[in-house]
Chain A
Amino acid sequence: MRIGIVCPYSFDVPGGVQNHVMDLAEALITLGHQVSVLAPADEDSPLPEYVVSAGRAVPLPYNGSVARIAFGPVSTARVRRWITNGDFDVLHVHEPLTLSLSLLAVLSARGPVVATFHTAMTRSRVLAAAQGVLQIVLERITARIAVSALARKVQVEHMDGGAVEIPNGVAVAKFADAEPLPGWPGECTPGTGGTLGFLGRFTEARKGFPVLRDAFVELAATRPDLRLLVAGPGDPDDLYDRFPAALRERVTFLGLVSEPDKARMLRSVHLYVAPNTGGESFGMILTEALAAGTTVVASDLDAFRRVLDGGRAGRLFPTGDAAGLRDALADLLDDPAGRAALSACGDQVVTNFDWPVVARRVLEVYAAAIEATDGRVIDQEWVGLG
């Protein structure tokens, strides 16, 4: 099958959607399909061979963070040329309601169009101003995929349509086989030791780092060998200032890590902690930690509860409750058997998220979209008639 995938965000910056698109494309190629990915990228940035650049992206503040997107007449021309040259059986766009290549592609194409909705955000503010425009965009889409139950709920309630729920995939092998960082995780001596991990922007309130900080500070007082491994964007001084001077040497900060280092980081801790206080629609990092075989302790958000199979595959604690987190951590650090039981269940859960499995479900949606439209994906003047 010839598949065209559009990624709205630039591959120059790492991000959930970008990773999803790359992993999906690679899984589909492995299954024997021809895949072309259109994405914004700087001229000189190294790209996988299946990616076609649609030109430079401009940074725009969006949905609480900064997105780098491409939009405008030049981008439109490139999108249309790509569609014409690609001769695709199906077009798969991601986040089509952002002002981006995805939106341009949806408006330019006729034929089987599949759209994946990642965020639980209701809709773009620009589009919200014009319900009619929103309808025109949605009408061009043949089948919709939501990566989480929350994203699907938004589809049903706000966009007047259903969506097939297919979770984010995770490249299980990449995580399961990663080598831990030298010297980590060390011994988890009951009563004294253990290492905790946190990955994400520690300055962002909804990531819940302060909850983990409070729990760590309290727990470190009674456990002299407890260590904390933090990865993510941010200033080291800003991070260390958050801890009492005596504890700083027990906190290790890796900064922003690459994908392979992320896998190594997840294999380097006894417990991975996800103290998020909201704003998560899926919880990708949890599936990655499970794939790495690490025990997960997460706040009791809907999305997390689903991934962790209601608490069978990882420990849940009341959202935002530092004392609850502290008790859960102390309990699990002293209970190797309990950790092993959670991990074993996690291994089982994570097979549902393995990319080959997820990609085959996506292919079934492609088939359903192709059946409901005649012909291939063709370029079509979108402001024009008909």
Chain B
Amino acid sequence: MPHMWWVVAASLVVGLVAAYLIWTAGRVERLHSRADLAARALDAHLLRRAAAAAVLAERRFGVELYAAARMALDAPPEEREAAENDLTRQLRTVQLDPADPDCGAVIAASRRLALSRQVHTDLVRDARSARGRPLVRLLRMGRGREWPRYFDIDDPTLTVPADVPAT
């Protein structure tokens, strides 16, 4: 029965292709949700840094830093990157004393923000590269989701930390 072999081979191929497609769809989905989570974490760290900077500005350094912190907190999404970069620049112009608790909070928040930004950039890149594969585009996998966006800001690290305070 030579036809039987064709049937077996054909179903094997169909099975493999189906398995690959399901796996790819799952991969695209997984990378997207991870990028979303990273974006949320990044958002939280941006808010934390701006809040810490605002607290510091109320006590020391005054209006300009306070304004930059407020702008970063209130910026609409399309202006947020610029506002965050302004805040980084403002923070770099003042002399932060690591021994002062409020300054320490800003330095720590900036360091955590830098990590979170790094992770976010990597995960967005992974998700975008999976989304951009020809097969994924052809079958419009992940169409229910927006393309993950990079958050393009300068490295917010303030000083090279000599020590990380215990948390």
Contacts and interface: CB of A to CB of B under 8 A. Distances in A.
A80 to B, nearest CB: 19
B132 interface: no
Contacts of A63: none
A357 B163 contact: yes
Contacts of A164: 115, 118
A58 to B, nearest CB: 31
B38 A372 contact: yes
Contact of B119 (A31, A357, A369): A369
B112 A385 contact: no
A276 interface: no
Given A351-B163, A372-B41, A373-B37, A364 B26 contact: no
Interface string A214-227: 00000000000000
B31 A361 contact: no
Contact of A367 (B37, B112, B130): B112
B11 interface: no
Contacts of A360: 163-167
A385 B123 contact: no
B70 interface: no
Contacts of A351: 162-163
B166 A368 contact: no
A371 interface: yes
Contact of B22 (A31, A139, A161, A386): A386
Contacts of A160: 125, 129
Interface string A333-364: 00000000000000000011000010011001
Contact of A372 (B111, B120, B165, B166): B120
Contacts of A142: 34, 119, 123
A28 to B, nearest CB: 13
Interface of A: 31, 135, 138-139, 142-144, 160-164, 351-352, 357, 360-361, 364-365, 367-369, 371-374, 385-386
25 contacts: A143-B118, A144-B122, A161-B122, A164-B115, A351-B162, A351-B163, A360-B163, A360-B167, A361-B161, A364-B115, A365-B115, A367-B115, A368-B118, A368-B119, A371-B41, A371-B116, A371-B119, A372-B37, A372-B38, A372-B116, A372-B120, A374-B37, A385-B19, A386-B26, A386-B30
